[in-house]
Amino acid sequence: MPASQELYTALLLKLRSLWPDSVFDGDLPPEGTPYPFVHLGDTQDIAEFLVKGAAFGRMSITVNIWMNNPRRRGDLSLMAFKAKALARSISETDSFGWCLSGCEESVIPDNTTNDPLMHGVLIFEYKYWRKK
């Protein structure tokens, strides 16, 4: 399995263990889904080099959190804090070792619906290496 899919699956399962009915991947959830919810988004894989068949690289993965009450920014921040802790806990998958090397976090207003939303964006950056 590609490194990007192993990381995506590992993070998706960890997020769903914390918020079982509020984590979505692929398409955004259907209209009427209760807030807050989490969406596992894009990945980017940057293979750095191959040495004697060993793969090394960098990977980024985006996690989006939406909240429909701007007065509950603290709740969104707590969800982001918990998501970062889960991301840090990923150190290996079946074929790869992982090291979280950074996290970029933004909270931005979102006016794409009739309700004012807050949109938390977490971009996790990992370094990885093939174990086998």
The domains of the chain are located at 3-28+62-130
Confidence band of 49 (pLDDT split at 50, 70, 90): low
What pLDDT is attached to residue 21? 94
Report pLDDT for 25: 95
What pLDDT, in 10s, does the model give residues 91-122?
999 999 999 999 999 999 998 888 899 999 99
DSSP states of the chain as a string? --HHHHHHHHHHHHHHHHSTTSEEESSPPPTTPPSSEEEEEEEEEEEEEEETTEEEEEEEEEEEEEES-GGGHHHHHHHHHHHHHHHHT--B-SSEEEEEEEEEEEEEEE-SSSS-EEEEEEEEEEEEEE--
Confidence (pLDDT) at 118: 96
Task: Please give the mean pLDDT across all residues of the chain.
Answer: 93
Of residues 9 and 55, the one with the higher pLDDT is 9
- pLDDT of the residue at 67: 96
Q: Is the pLDDT of residue 52 over 80?
A: no
Q: What is the mean pLDDT of residues 42-47?
A: 90
